[in-house]
Amino acid sequence: MTAALVLAGLLAMACVVLVAVPFLREPAPPDDTLAAPGELARRQLELTEERDRALAALKELEFDHRTGKISDVDYRAAVGEYRHRAAAALKALEPRLEEHPRRVRARD
């Protein structure tokens, strides 16, 4: 009984220490704010996902054409539109990429 309670006490103490560790670190971090993407970063992430989707779609189209799922005629009809979408996604992201270093400098 006593040994069990001692062990339980040690377990509880170890757990409390682990939970308290972020507050015990010295020196305390100057900024306690949780990193979360701001409005700009969220928009940038959306654009990046759109870009990745557009490029993946283009890649899929090429692969489907090579494996014979899409005929030459259908491929020619679709590839232009797909390239346009991919280019649009890349273009939409470009100004953000340019803004990025400025944003970092501004923060510095």
Partner 1 sequence: MADLGRAALIVTLGLVLWATLAGALAARFGRRRLADSAGNALLAALASTAVASLVLLGALLRHDFSFTYVADHTSTKLARAYSVSAFWGGQEGSLLLWLLVLCGYGAAAVLLNRRRAPDVVAWTVPVLGAVATFFAFLLVAVASPFATQTAPPEGAGLNPSLQNPYMLAHPPLLYLGYVGLTVPFAFGMGSLLAGRADERWIVATRRWTLVAWTALGIGQLLGSHWAYVEVGWGGYYAWDPVENAALMPWLAATAFLHSVMIQEKRGMLKVWNMLLVLLAFGLSLFGTFLTRSGVVNSIHSFTQSSIGPWFLGFICFVVVCSLALVFWRLPLLRSKTRLESLVSREATFLYNNLLLVAFCLTVLWGVAFPMLSEAVRGEPRTLGGPYYNFFLRTFGLPLLLLMGIGPLVAWRRASLRSVGRTFLWPFSFAVAVGVGLIALGAGSSLPGLLAYTFSAFVLASIVLEFVRGTRAAGSFTLLVSRNRRRYGGYVVHAAVVLFAIGVAGSAYGSSREAKLRPGESMHVGSYTLVYRSAGTTRVANANETRARVDVVRGGERVATVFPGKNQYFAERQVSNEMAIHTDWLRAEDVDVIADQINANGTIYFKALVKPLVNFLWIAGVVFLLGALIALWPDAREQRRLVARYALAQG
Tell me if 11 contacts partner 1 by CB under 8 A: yes
Q: Strand, coil or helix: what is 38? A: coil
Residue 58 engages partner 1 in binding (rule: CB under 8 A) = no
Cβ-proximal residues to 32 (8 Å cutoff; 6+ apart), any chain: none
Give dist(CA 75, CA 64) in Å, integer. 9
CA angle 35, 40, 41 (to 5 degrees): 45
Q: How far is the CB of 85 from partner 1 (least distance, A)?
A: 10
Asked whether position 106 contacts partner 1 by CB under 8 A, the answer is: no
- Write the interaction track for partner 1 spanning residues 64-83; mark x where CB under 8 A is met and - where it is not: x-xxxxxx--x---x-----
93 CB neighbour count, 10 Å cutoff: 17
Phi and psi torsions of 31, nearest 5°: -120, 115
List 56, 76, 87, 91, residue binding partner 1 (CB under 8 A): 56
Q: Which residues bind partner 1 (CB under 8 A)?
A: 1, 4-5, 7-8, 11-12, 14-15, 18-23, 29, 31-37, 41-42, 44-46, 48-50, 52-53, 56-57, 60-61, 63-64, 66-71, 74, 78, 100, 103-104
